[in-house]
């Protein structure tokens, strides 16, 4: 097994690409040729709360990551909400309306109980409990059904360590390192870990992600293949790594501590506003008393303005949403602004050519 230890996912991604470049073997897959590690890989994040990848080569959509994380915590499995952020998400749906492998639905509804509520209650009552395993794999369906959406991640284990912090270990049968392991997975599982920790009332520990089939599709790998060369200081040459977290250029706004019911109500309100297109007339979260929810809302609202307007208004309106000095250095706000500015620059370049 190969081991990657990193402060955060922004630092882990270049290490992952370097690992595959050194040990990867090219193989075919049902979705095209991949470079795969001959052995499983375990990635441990020391600070899972730092969950934004800022490398422009990756060009991750921050609004999708924010929405999907909240969507999972709410236990949803509808397709429509996610299609606002990724239009062709329907390719994973068997019925055109739902996602059979939706993690959040399995966390909170699919197996006849709210697993998260049980885990929170158990760890609140016994911090030494070692039996709190969150199930995602459904052998009755996933093992025998040929469907479009089969869970890649199988179980998550929660334990409060000797230091009093909540550690989480996720086991994955197969993971694409660009879109999955160091993309969506690094975000929504870290958000899950923070949610459980806040409900229990403890701090976050480490997040370890163990992937059995660790791979990257050759066509997507090409766009980020030079990242290791840009960050060689991680391994040999003492050049500084460009990490906005380490350099204090961005800050994290933590999820508030509270009861599970209180956090669930906040999450439902954020999703409801996004689903309704911010037409409800609600003022939304308060900037000063609800900073976490406020930042999440700004990211989702900026994406709404970008999605529902034509250029150039889509850029002026969406960037105006983020023009709030009090949160200008929050990680998700910075990432969303950069994502929009990259698209605005491409649009302006096309206008000049035309």
Residues 147 and 270 occupy one common structural domain:
no
Cα–Cα distance for residue pair 96/1, rounded to 1 Å: 39
Residue 179 has pLDDT above 50, yes or no: yes
Asked if residue 249 belongs to a domain, the reply is no
Cis peptide before 312 (omega within 30 of 0): yes
pLDDT in tens, 16-70: 999 999 999 999 988 889 999 999 999 999 999 999 999 998 999 999 999 999 9
Domain count, the chain: 2
**What is the pLDDT at residue 236?**
45
**What is the pLDDT at residue 227?**
82
Average pLDDT for residues 221-243, to the nearest whole number?
Answer: 67
Q: Among 234, 269, 299, where does a domain finish?
A: 234
Residues 130 and 73 occupy one common structural domain:
yes
Give 240's pLDDT tier (boundaries 50, 70, 90). low
pLDDT in tens, 326-336: 999 999 999 99
Mean pLDDT of the chain: 93
pLDDT in tens, 218-230: 998 988 888 877 6
Asked if residue 274 belongs to a domain, the reply is yes
**What is the pLDDT at residue 328?**
96
Residues 179 and 78 occupy one common structural domain:
yes
Residues 221 and 269 occupy one common structural domain:
no
Asked if residue 80 belongs to a domain, the reply is yes
Residues 291 and 220 occupy one common structural domain:
no
Residues 162 and 311 occupy one common structural domain:
no
Residues 53 and 140 occupy one common structural domain:
yes
Asked if residue 240 belongs to a domain, the reply is no
Residues 121 and 18 occupy one common structural domain:
yes
Tokens matching residue 118: 């049980």
Residues 7 and 142 occupy one common structural domain:
yes
Average pLDDT for residues 230-246, to the nearest whole number?
Answer: 63
Residues 73 and 212 occupy one common structural domain:
yes
Asked if residue 278 belongs to a domain, the reply is yes
Residue 235 has pLDDT above 70, yes or no: no
Asked if residue 180 belongs to a domain, the reply is yes
**What is the pLDDT at residue 239?**
47
Residue 144 has pLDDT above 90, yes or no: no
Asked if residue 242 belongs to a domain, the reply is no
DSSP per residue over 114-152, as a string?
Answer: -HHHHHHHHHHH-TT----EEE---HHHHTT---S---S
Cα–Cα distance for residue pair 155/317, rounded to 1 Å: 41
Task: Please state the φ and ψ torsions of residue 198, each to the nearest 5 degrees.
Answer: -65, -35
Task: Domain of residue 209: give its range.
Answer: 2-234
Asked if residue 74 belongs to a domain, the reply is yes
Cα–Cα distance for residue pair 3/236, rounded to 1 Å: 17
Residues 180 and 142 occupy one common structural domain:
yes
CATH code at position 62: 3.30.572.10
Residues 203 and 297 occupy one common structural domain:
no
Scanning 24-102, the segments in alpha helix (DSSP H) are 62-73, 80-83
Residue 281 has pLDDT above 80, yes or no: no
Q: Could you give the percent of the chain with pLDDT greater than 70?
A: 96
Q: Among 192, 216, 234, where does a domain finish?
A: 234
């Amino acid at each position: 097994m190969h081991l990657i230890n990193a402060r955060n996912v922004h630092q882990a991604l270049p290490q992952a690409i370097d690992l595959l470049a050194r040990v990867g073997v090219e193989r075919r897959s049902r979705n095209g040729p991949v470079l795969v590690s001959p052995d499983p890989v375990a990635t441990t994040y020391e600070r899972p709360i730092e969950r934004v990848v800022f490398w422009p080569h990756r060009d991750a959509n921050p609004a999708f990551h924010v929405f999907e994380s909240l969507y999972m915590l709410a236990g949803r499995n509808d397709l429509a909400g996610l299609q606002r952020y990724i239009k062709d998400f329907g390719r994973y749906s068997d019925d055109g309306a739902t996602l059979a492998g939706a993690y959040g639905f399995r966390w909170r509804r699919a197996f006849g109980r709210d697993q998260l509520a049980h885990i929170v209650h158990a760890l609140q009552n016994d911090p030494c409990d070692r039996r709190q395993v969150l199930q995602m794999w459904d052998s009755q369906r996933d093992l025998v059904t040929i469907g479009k959406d089969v869970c890649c991640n199988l179980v998550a284990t929660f334990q409060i360590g000797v230091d009093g912090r909540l550690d989480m270990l996720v086991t994955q049968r197969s993971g694409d390192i660009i879109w999955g392991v160091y993309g969506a997975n690094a975000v929504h599982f870290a958000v899950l870990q923070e949610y459980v920790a806040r409900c229990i009332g403890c701090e976050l520990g480490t997040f370890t992600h163990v992937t059995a089939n660790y791979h990257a599709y050759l066509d997507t790998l090409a766009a980020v293949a030079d990242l290791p060369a840009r960050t060689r200081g991680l391994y040999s040459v003492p050049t500084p790594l460009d990490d906005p977290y380490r350099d204090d250029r961005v800050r994290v706004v933590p999820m508030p501590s509270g009861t599970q019911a209180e956090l669930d109500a906040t999450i439902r309100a954020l999703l409801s506003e996004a689903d309704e297109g911010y037409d409800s007339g609600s003022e939304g979260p308060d900037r000063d008393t609800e900073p976490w929810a406020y930042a999440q809302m700004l990211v989702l609202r900026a994406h709404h303005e970008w999605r529902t307007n034509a250029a150039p208004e889509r850029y002026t309106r969406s960037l105006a949403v983020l023009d709030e000095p009090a949160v200008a250095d929050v990680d998700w706000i910075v990432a969303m602004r950069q994502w929009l500015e990259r698209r605005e620059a491409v649009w302006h370049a096309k206008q000049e050519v035309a």
